[in-house]
Amino acid sequence: MKFSEFIVCDEINQSLKENNYKTPTLIQSKVIKAVFEKVDVIAKAQTGSGKTASFVLPILELFSKQNDSKKAKIKTLVLTPTRELALQISDTFEIFSKYLNKKPKIVSLIGGEGISKQLIDVQKGCDIVVATTGRLIDILEKKQINLNYLEFFILDEADKMLDFGFEEELDNLLKIIPSTRQNLLFSATYPDKVKNIISRITQNPVYISIEEPPVVENINQRVILVNKEKKSLLLRELISENKWDKILVFVANKRSCDNIAFKFRKNGLNAISFHSDLTQEERNNTLKNFKENKINILFATDIVSRGIHVEDISCVINFDLPRASEDYIHRIGRTARAGKTGVAISFIGLEDFEHFSLIEKRCNISIKKEQIKDFELIGSPVKKEKGLAPIKGKRKSKKDKLRELAKKDA
């Protein structure tokens, strides 16, 4: 099967060829077909399956057939949980529309950049908007965007958006956009909170679930037992021993990112941190330098566990375990891209045994625990006790905290 069996526009096929897209993945062939059949789609596919192109290509194919010379109107709205994913999707639209005689006007609405310019870009007229939820809500509240002509509504990484407390805002958005539209919802996991919104967004959807061999089959997963205070020394030892070219290290929070990256630089290593407190320009430059091998160790929070595509990451390190079990798969999926192999190493301390057992159970994996000479784990695993329930009204709710996080990152 070739893309030309679905995509007949010569200019788009020229872009596909230029970017070495030869045959569609399973998710691409099924979603493209469904888009052309004008049905709603609920798609489940693992990270790295090619889902972005699955909706970008048919939308551009349909756009290429339009002959409307009037001012551009927003026909496509794509919502994502993070800025990096929004920019990546916008870039994909730009890449595959490169040779079109009439190119679509694409606007990214993301936090970390001035809202004024984004408002001007929208008001000048655009065809496609790719937005983070927080920034879109800000603009909707200002009543500065017209979604009355919307034809495609796409939620990408829906599970992550709902983790950020987007459900109530979604209800308000659905009141604004046309009821007659084509909806595409993509999610790597389908917990109850995602299932609950499906009927509110879609009508008689086609369900597409891609049961490809998990990307983790190409990843050498390792678990190393080490005390918390020796993690940094162990990581430096592993880097020195293995000579990895490009390393992505996940840590629990922003402060740890900065502290550990600073210590590694003091020891002569080419390391930098990446998290939501950076300005958008800093985030863009950091990822660019990492992709171009100007930086070879990136310490990051989970904002890069989904949505970024960096070639040839040699090793992913879970310096700290992810809070959510499903994020383990997303994290390690940053390596072994495009059929290549990679290494993923998780550090497990005395306080991590119960949590990692849960990750193994939910991700259906079982990994042998290793000890490294001079870094052996000392002590007994900590059994966590349930604390007292918080006093209602005294602290921010989990939902409020998630919304604040989404606003900051978006």
Calculate the alpha carbon distances from 279 to 107, 172, 214, 251, 284 in Å. 19, 29, 34, 19, 9
Q: Residue 92 forms beta bridges with which residues?
A: none
Task: Calculate the CA dihedral of residues 162, 166, 172, 175 and round it to 10 degrees.
Answer: -30
Cα–Cα distance for residue pair 331/335, rounded to 1 Å = 8
Task: Calculate the CA dihedral of residues 227, 305, 222, 338 and round it to 10 degrees.
Answer: -160
Residue 107 host element (H or E): strand 106-109
What three-state secondary structure class fits 352?
coil
> Residue 157's pLDDT is what?
87
Over residues 128-147, the pLDDT tens digits come to 999 998 899 889 988 889 99
CATH H-level superfamily of 215-370: P-loop containing nucleotide triphosphate hydrolases (3.40.50.300)
**Of 96, 99, 101, nearest to 19 (Cα)?**
96
Confidence of residue 247 (pLDDT cuts 50, 70, 90): very high
pLDDT above 70: residue 64? yes
Q: Which residues contact 406 (CB under 8 A, 6 or more apart)?
A: 81, 133, 134, 161, 164, 165, 166
Q: Residue 220 forms beta bridges with which residues?
A: 343
Give me the percent of the chain exceeding a pLDDT of 90.
61
pLDDT above 80: residue 151? yes
> Residue 387's pLDDT is what?
53
CATH class of 3-209: alpha beta
Chain Cα centroid distance, residue 398: 22
Confidence of residue 403 (pLDDT cuts 50, 70, 90): low
Confidence of residue 382 (pLDDT cuts 50, 70, 90): confident
User: Could you say which DSSP state residue 109 is in?
Assistant: E
Query: What mean pLDDT is predicted for residues 239-246?
Result: 94
Helix 51-64 / helix 26-36 crossing angle, nearest 10 deg: 30
Both tokens of residue 177? 């956009």
134 exposure class (CB count in 10 Å sphere: 0-12, 13-18, 19+)? buried
Question: Within 10 Å of residue 406's Cβ, how many Cβ atoms?
Answer: 23
> Residue 48's pLDDT is what?
66
pLDDT above 80: residue 183? yes
User: Could you say which DSSP state residue 5 is in?
Assistant: G
pLDDT above 90: residue 97? yes
Both tokens of residue 66? 């339009």
**Of 369, 404, 34, 16, nearest to 207 (Cα)?**
34
Query: What mean pLDDT is predicted for residues 76-101?
Result: 94
Interior angle at CA 132, CA 202 and CA 261, nearest 5: 135
Q: What is the DSSP string of 224-238?
A: EE--GGGHHHHHHHH
Which residue spans of the chain are classified as CATH 3.40.50.300? 3-209, 215-370
Question: Do 104 and 60 contact (CB within 8 A), yes or no?
Answer: yes
> Residue 396's pLDDT is what?
55
What three-state secondary structure class fits 320?
coil
What is the rounded average pLDDT for all residues in the chain?
88
